[in-house]
Amino acid sequence: MLSNAEDDSIYKALGHYRRRQILDMLKNNPQTTGALCAAMPDLDRCTVMQHLKVLEDADLIIARRQGRERWNHLNPLPIREIHDRWISQYAVPAVDLLARLKRNLE
């Protein structure tokens, strides 16, 4: 289970749309920092690196060096732990309610 400080760093990282955009770009495969920078031409490299640092500090990405390149890999485990702790326990009653509503309407 995540501690409150770990939760806070994850929520902070997920709180900015650019960082969510980066996570979306890493969803299917790892990418180099250069590729991420090229995908966001309106941001300078320094800004992209700052966003990557926040994501890395929250353990949402894992960065590995290969030669001169820095490969960024998505780490979905913290998001899964947030889901298991906060979302799933609220989703089950909502889904049950919708199922009962559907049965009653039919």
Residue 96 has what pLDDT? 79
Question: What is the pLDDT of the chain when averaged over all its residues?
Answer: 91
Domains of the chain, start order = 4-76 (1.10.10.10)
For residue range 51-96, list pLDDT tens digits in order: 999 999 999 999 999 999 999 999 999 999 888 887 777 777 777 7
Residue 1 has what pLDDT? 54
- What whole-number distance in Å separates Cα of residue 72 and Cα of residue 1? 25
Residue 94 has what pLDDT? 76
User: Phi/psi class of residue 20: alpha, beta or left (left: φ > 0; alpha: ψ in -120 to 50)?
Assistant: alpha
Residue 63 has what pLDDT? 97
User: Which of the four pLDDT bands, split at 50, 70 and 90, describes residue 39?
Assistant: very high
The structure's pTM equals 0.79
Pairing of β 69-74 and β 31-32: antiparallel
Residue 2 has what pLDDT? 58
